[in-house]
Structure 1
Amino acid sequence: METLIPVINRLQEVFVTVGAEIVQLPQIIVVGSQSSGKSSVLESLVGRDFLPRGSGIVTRRPLVLQLVNVPPLVDRKQGESGVKAEEWGTFLHCKNKIFTDFGEIRVEVEEETERGSGDSKGISPEPIHLKIFSPHVLNLTLVDLPGITKVPVGDQPEDIESQVQDMILSFISNPNSIILAVSPANSDLATSDALKLAREVDPDGRRTLLVVSKLDLMDAGTDALEVLLGRVIPVHLGIIGVVNRSQHDINTQKSLADSARDEQAFLQRHYPSLASRCGSRFLARTLSRLLMHHIRDCLPELKTRVTVLTSQYQARLSSYGQPVEDHSATLLQIITKFASDYCSTIEGTARHIQTSELCGGARICYIFHETFGRTLQSIDPLAGLTELDILTAIRNATGPRPALFVPEVSFELLVKKQIKRLEEPSLRCVELVHEEMQRIIQHCSNYSTQELLRFPKLHDSIVEVVTSLLRKRLPITNEMVHNLVAIELAYINTKHPDFTDAAVVSASVNSQQVETLQDGGKRWKNDKAMEERAVAEKAKGPGSAYSSPSKGQAVNLLDTAVPVSRKLSTREQRDCEVIQRLIKCYFLIVRKSIQDSVPKTVMHFLVNFVKESFRVSWVRQLYKQPLLQELLVESQDMAQQRTEVARMLGALQKANQIISEIRETHLW
Structure 2
Amino acid sequence: MTKHRFCMMFRDNIETQVQEMILSYISNPNSLILCVSPANSDLATSDALKLAREVDPDGRRTLLVVSKLDLMDAGTDALEVLLGRVIPVRLGIIGVVNRSQHDLNTQKSLDDSCKDEQVFLQRHYPSLASRCGSRYLARTLSRLLMHHIRDCLPELKTRVTVLTAQYQSRLNSYGQPVEDHSATLLQIVTKFATDYCNTIEGTARHIQTSELCGGARICYIFHETFGRTLQSIDPLGGLTELDVLTAIRNATGPRPALFVPEVSFELLVKKQIKRLEEPSLRCVELVHEELQRIIQHCSAYSTQELLRFPKLHDSIVEVVTSLLRKRLPITNEMVHNLVAIELAYINTKHPDFTDAAQVSASVNSERQRHSLCLSLQIQMGVVFVLSSLSQAEAGDGGKRWKNEKMPSEEKGPVPGFGSPNKAVNLLDTAVPVSRKLSTREQRDCEVIQRLIKCYFLIVRKSIQDSVPKTVMHFLVNFVKEHLQSELVGQLYKQRLLQELLIESQETAQQRTEVAQMLEALKKASNIISEIRETHLW
TM-score tier after normalising by the smaller chain length: 0.7 to 0.9
Partner in structure 2 of residue 119 of structure 1? 10
Q: Deviations for 1:334-389, whole angstroms, at most 9, x for unmatched residues? A: 21111111111111222222222221111111111111111111111111222222
Q: Does 1:589 align with 2:443?
A: no
The reply to whether residue 332 of structure 1 matches residue 204 of structure 2 is no
Q: State the secondary structure of the residue aligned to 2:32.
A: strand
* SS state at 2:302 partner: coil
Say if 2:18 is the partner of 1:146.
yes
Matching residue of 1:393: 247
Contact in 2 for aligned 1:348/1:362 (Cα 8 Å):
yes
Q: Is residue 463 of structure 2 the alignment partner of residue 609 of structure 1? A: no
Q: Does 1:566 align with 2:435?
A: yes
Structure having the higher strand fraction is 1
Q: Is the 8 A contact 2:65 2:95 kept in 1?
A: yes
SS at match of 1:180: strand
Contact 2:64/2:94 (<8 A) preserved: yes
Is the CA contact 1:470–1:610 (under 8 Å) kept in the aligned structure 2?
A: yes
Name the counterpart of 2:525. Answer: 656
Distance (Å, rounded) in 2 between the aligned partners of 1:331 and 1:185: 72
Q: 2:347 maps to which residue?
A: 493
Summarize deviations over 1:171-212 as a string: whole Å, max 9, x none. Answer: 334232102234455666567665455455544422111233
Alignment partner of 1:498: what SS? Answer: helix
Q: Distance in 2 between matches of 1:415 and 1:632?
A: 59
Letter matched to residue 201 of structure 2? E
Residue 456 of structure 1 aligns with which residue? 310
Name the CA distance, whole Å, in 1 between partners of 2:448 and 2:284: 32
- Find the residue that maps to 1:177 and give its secondary structure: coil
Q: What whole-Å deviation, never above 9, does each CA across 1:197-231 have from its counterpart, x for those lacking one? A: 54555444221112335656767765432222112
- Alignment partner for residue 363 of structure 1, among 217, 240, 259? 217
2:257 matched residue in structure 1: 403
Aligned-residue CA RMSD (Å): 3.6
Q: 2:207 aligns with which of 344, 350, 353?
A: 353
Query: Which amino acid is 1:618 matched to?
Result: L
Tell me which residue corresponds to 1:417.
Answer: 271
- Measured in 2, the distance between the counterparts of 1:417 and 1:435 equals 30
- C-alpha distance 665-221 of structure 1, shift in aligned 2 (>3 A): closer
Equivalent residues of 1:321, 1:450 under 8 A apart: no
Contact 2:36 2:48 in 1 (8 A): yes
Task: Report Cα offsets for 1:610-656 as digits up to 9, x if no partner.
Answer: 11112221111111111112112222222222222222233233333
Q: What are the equivalent positions in structure 2 for 1:502-513 lying under 5 Å apart?
A: 504-506=358-360
Structure 1: how far apart are the matches of 2:515 and 2:343?
A: 68
- In structure 2, the CA distance between the partners of 1:220 and 1:373, relative to structure 1 (3 Å rule), is farther
> Could you tell me which amino acid in structure 2 is paired with residue 667 of structure 1?
L
CA distance in 1, matches of 2:231, 2:366: 28
Distance in 1 (CA, whole Å) between partners of 2:491 and 2:153 is 54
TM-score (norm 2): 0.76
What's 2:63 paired with? Answer: 209
Counterpart code for 1:600: K
For residue 492 of structure 2, what is the aligned residue in structure 1? 623
If the length of structure 1 is used for normalisation, what is the TM-score?
0.62
For the Cα contact (< 8 Å) 2:205–2:302, is it kept in 1?
Answer: no
Match of 1:530 in 2: none
* 1:49 matched residue in structure 2: none
Give 1:154's aligned residue. none
- Aligned amino acid, residue 294 of structure 2: I
Cα offset, 1:510, TM superposition: 8.8
Task: Tell whether the 8 Å contact from 2:356 to 2:454 is kept in structure 1 after alignment.
Answer: no
Q: Which amino acid aligns with 1:632?
A: L
Relative distance call for 1:572 and 1:123 in structure 2 (3 A) is: farther
| Structure having the larger proportion of residues in helix | 2
The letter of the residue matching 2:250 is: N
Aligned length in residues: 466
2:357, 2:451 within 8 Å by CA — same for their partners in 1? no
Q: SS at 2:85's partner residue?
A: coil
Which whole-Å CA distance do the structure 1 matches of 2:11 and 2:488 have between them?
60
Instruction: Point out where structure 1 has 5 or more consecutive residues left out of the alignment.
Output: 1-110, 126-144, 148-163, 514-562
Q: Give matches, 1:16-27, under 5 Å.
A: none
Partner of 1:435: 289
Question: Are the counterparts in 2 of residues 240 and 283 from structure 1 also a CA contact under 8 Å?
Answer: yes
Tell me which residue corresponds to 1:101.
none
Q: Contact 1:185 / 1:212 at 8 angstroms: preserved in 2?
A: yes
1:573 is paired with a residue of what secondary structure?
Answer: helix
Distance 2:350 2:536 in 1: 94
Q: Which has the larger radius of gyration?
A: 2
TM-superposed deviation, 1:260: 7.5
The higher-RCO structure (CA 8 Å, 6+ apart) is: 2
Letter in 1 for 2:213: C
Matches of 2:357 and 2:292, distance apart in 1: 51
Q: Which amino acid aligns with 1:660?
A: S
Cα distance in structure 1, aligned partners of 2:433 and 2:247:
21
* Structure 2 counterpart SS, 1:146: helix
Residues 459/122 of structure 1: CA separation in 2 closer, same or farther (3 Å cut): farther
**Matched residues in 1 for 2:313 and 2:215: separation?**
22
User: Equivalent of 2:513, from 634, 644, 668?
Assistant: 644
3-state SS, counterpart of residue 479 of structure 1: helix
Letter in 2 for 1:294: H
